[in-house]
Amino acid sequence: MLKFALVGCGRISRKHVSVLQEIEQASLVAVCDIIEQRAKATAEPLGIPYYTDYHRMLKREKIDVVNILTPSGLHGRHVLDIVEYGLQIVVEKPIALTLEDADRMIEACDRTGVKLFVVKQNRYNLAVQQLKKALDKGRFGKLVLGTVRVRWCRDQAYYDQDAWRGTWALDGGVLTNQASHHIDLLEWCMGEVGSVFAMTATRLVDIEVEDTGVALLKFTSGALGIIEATNATRPKDLEGSISILGEHGAVEIAGFAVNEIRTWQFDHEDGQDKDIWTRYNQNPPDVYGFGHKLFLEDVIRSINSNTRGLVDGFEGRKSLELINAIYESVESGREVRLKFRPEHCRLGRETFNQRKSTS
């Protein structure tokens, strides 16, 4: 049984609380939020202690794993603090906003022997796992084109609910926040990215960052990729999808959160195809999907067996590097070749302008 604690009791904490209650090998023992009423509202129904200072919580409670669920631009600072307690760390996506933060986090976890897990729950979607299996078996042959599409709805009220949302300093736009899952999936499936050219726009809300973005990718394999992401779909969420096209087959997985198989076709049948539509096809009720439970079960397995998690710091850093390259391309108006040193990318670098009244 591993003892978990949460740092951050906002929107995504509800998912962590419900999933940790479902997992037999996990128990949630304490929570913390700088907003006392959020911490209290999370802890009281569970009969566990709550804190407004994570140092106090970590000094007082017996904890094995800390889930960091704070605004994205604070992940670096919070991981670097908490790593010194020697506890295992789960951090919500994205790992951080700057590559320097991600590198410091990875280095500190290595130095202290702490495992760092970055939440990329869509990798655990049943349909996505089958897609990855088909790729690893070489069923696609030569890869041609990979596309991810995020057509979600986030209105002004969503951005106005917390001061950090929609800022360069602490959040980033649709590409960093919502599409970071899909960008991660695209790289996981298609391999290393060689270069990217991107454009963004802010169409329907008043925020510092983009609500819409498109990017063209060239993978080092020679295959091409497209990222299409918008929070300006109205009046409600439409789709989160990936499609992979290769010499011998094509797969599309869509639904709200990359769970629903739309196309599964190969020129050679395989035992894998038999129950693909019946066993691996599901569309969740919301964009969070089903993957958090499988993700956290894998975290527990990895800690108990002392093996590497599927999305450790290095894996989590890859999509962050591509997102930084996308913004570098937007700001410079040029195709950006990876590896690169960000010069123009504003993500995580602007000063936080607290123009809204809430936290």
Ligand X SMILES: NC(=O)c1ccc[n+]([C@@H]2O[C@H](COP(=O)([O-])OP(=O)(O)OC[C@H]3O[C@@H](n4cnc5c(N)ncnc54)[C@H](O)[C@@H]3O)[C@@H](O)[C@H]2O)c1
Query: Is there binding between residue 11 and ligand X (CB under 6 A)?
Result: yes
**Least distance (Å) between residue 93 CB and ligand X:** 5
**Least distance (Å) between residue 51 CB and ligand X:** 8
Taking contact as CB under 6 A, which single stretch among the options 1-9, 16-24, 59-67, 242-250 is the one that binds ligand X? 1-9
Residues listed for the chain: 359
Residue among 2, 4, 5, 8 that touches ligand X (CB under 6 A): 8
Indicate the residue among 93 and 139 with the shorter CB distance to ligand X: 93
Query: Is there binding between residue 56 and ligand X (CB under 6 A)?
Result: no
Evaluated on CA atoms 292, 295, 297, 300, the torsion sign reads negative
Cis peptide before 339 (omega within 30 of 0): yes
Query: Is there binding between residue 121 and ligand X (CB under 6 A)?
Result: yes
Taking contact as CB under 6 A, which single stretch among the options 66-74, 205-213, 224-232, 323-331 is the one that binds ligand X? 66-74
Residue among 2, 4, 33, 255 that touches ligand X (CB under 6 A): 33
Query: Is there binding between residue 146 and ligand X (CB under 6 A)?
Result: no
Report residue 212 as tokens: 């819409």
Query: Is there binding between residue 93 and ligand X (CB under 6 A)?
Result: yes
Residue among 72, 88, 202, 241 that touches ligand X (CB under 6 A): 72
Indicate the residue among 218 and 356 with the shorter CB distance to ligand X: 356
- Please provide residue 313's backbone torsions phi and psi, each rounded to the nearest 5 degrees: -60, -40
Indicate the residue among 139 and 292 with the shorter CB distance to ligand X: 292
Evaluated on CA atoms 89, 90, 92, 95, the torsion sign reads positive
Report the 10 Å Cβ neighbour count for 126.
Answer: 18
| H or E element in which residue 262 lies | strand 260-266
Query: Is there binding between residue 340 and ligand X (CB under 6 A)?
Result: no
| Beta-bridge partners for 116 | 89
Query: Is there binding between residue 12 and ligand X (CB under 6 A)?
Result: yes
Taking contact as CB under 6 A, which single stretch among the options 64-72, 134-142, 150-158, 240-248 is the one that binds ligand X? 64-72
Q: How far is it, in rounded angstroms, from Cα 94 to Cα 350?
A: 17
Q: Which residue's structure tokens are 């960093």?
A: 176
| H or E element in which residue 292 lies | helix 291-304
Query: Is there binding between residue 225 and ligand X (CB under 6 A)?
Result: no
Contact in structure between 126 and 293 (CB atoms under 8 Å): no
- CA-closest candidate to residue 230, choices 212, 207, 216: 212
Indicate the residue among 26 and 119 with the shorter CB distance to ligand X: 119
Query: Is there binding between residue 359 and ligand X (CB under 6 A)?
Result: yes
Query: Is there binding between residue 177 and ligand X (CB under 6 A)?
Result: yes
Contacts for 269 with CB less than 8 Å, ≥ 6 apart:
none
* 277: three-class secondary structure by DSSP: helix
Report residue 52 as tokens: 């407004």
Query: Is there binding between residue 153 and ligand X (CB under 6 A)?
Result: no
Q: How far is it, in rounded angstroms, from Cα 254 to Cα 257?
A: 7
Taking contact as CB under 6 A, which single stretch among the options 68-76, 189-197, 219-227, 247-255 is the one that binds ligand X? 68-76
Contacts for 155 with CB less than 8 Å, ≥ 6 apart:
204, 205, 234
Closest residue to ligand X in the complex (CB): 10
Indicate the residue among 72 and 241 with the shorter CB distance to ligand X: 72
Taking contact as CB under 6 A, which single stretch among the options 29-37, 110-118, 217-225, 309-317 is the one that binds ligand X? 29-37
Q: How far is it, in rounded angstroms, from Cα 12 to Cα 226?
A: 28
Residue among 19, 74, 175, 294 that touches ligand X (CB under 6 A): 74
Query: Is there binding between residue 54 and ligand X (CB under 6 A)?
Result: yes
DSSP 159-179: HHTSTTTT-TTTT--TTTTTT
The count of chain residues that interact with ligand X, using the rule CB under 6 A, is 25
Query: Under the rule (CB under 6 A), what is the footprint of ligand X?
Result: 7-12, 32-35, 38, 54, 69-72, 74, 92-93, 119, 121, 162, 177, 288, 359
